[in-house]
């Protein structure tokens, strides 16, 4: 089964929720034309990467220590909307940070949400995702 065959079309509005086009917002990071300045920006760009199924971006923004071999996308699952609930550290002058979020999705016709507190750190200057704790 091909992972890319049913990839959703490239959206106009950025999936991450910021009032910008995908091309100018997370798309810029996905294309490698810029780097996330903060842990929250990396979090948003990773949510968008899940939404557009950009496996390469997800892997290169993952801590090499915790990175999986690949990312398997559920073809029945659509990531709809991201809510940032809080953050610690993760700024321009930090080397680590956390971002708590709720990621809304639809799967098999039903709405759901993933509530996670993710950890991020800088790896050679660039923010990477380390791991996350699923909240209730």
Applying CB under 5 A, the residues found at the interface with Zn ion are: 14, 16, 18, 25-26
How many angstroms separate the CA atoms of 92 and 115, rounded? Answer: 25
Residue (18 or 84) nearer to Zn ion, CB: 18
How far out from the chain centre does Cα 6 lie? Answer: 19
Q: What are the start-end ranges of the H helices in 61-119?
A: none
Residue (43 or 128) nearer to Zn ion, CB: 43
Q: What's the closest the beta carbon of residue 48 comes to Zn ion, in angstroms? A: 5
Q: What's the closest the beta carbon of residue 2 comes to Zn ion, in angstroms? A: 26
How many angstroms separate the CA atoms of 24 and 98, rounded? Answer: 25
Residue (25 or 87) nearer to Zn ion, CB: 25
How many angstroms separate the CA atoms of 115 and 103, rounded? Answer: 6
Q: What's the closest the beta carbon of residue 110 comes to Zn ion, in angstroms? A: 25
Q: What's the closest the beta carbon of residue 108 comes to Zn ion, in angstroms? A: 26
Residue (34 or 70) nearer to Zn ion, CB: 34
Q: Residue 129, class by beta-carbon neighbours within 10 Å (0-12 exposed, 13-18 middle, 19+ buried)?
A: buried
């Amino acid at each position: 089964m091909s992972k890319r065959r049913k990839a959703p079309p490239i959206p106009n509005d950025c999936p991450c929720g910021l009032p910008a086009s995908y091309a100018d917002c997370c798309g810029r990071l996905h294309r490698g034309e810029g780097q996330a300045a903060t842990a929250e920006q990396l979090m948003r760009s990773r949510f968008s990467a899940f939404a557009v199924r950009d496996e390469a971006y997800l892997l290169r923004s993952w801590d090499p220590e915790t990175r999986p071999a690949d990312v398997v996308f559920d073809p029945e699952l659509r990531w709809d909307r991201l809510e940032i609930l809080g953050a610690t550290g993760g700024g321009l002058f930090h080397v680590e940070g956390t971002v708590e979020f709720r990621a809304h999705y639809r799967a098999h016709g039903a709405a759901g949400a993933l509530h996670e507190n993710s950890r991020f750190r800088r790896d050679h200057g660039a923010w990477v995702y380390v791991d996350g704790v699923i909240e209730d």
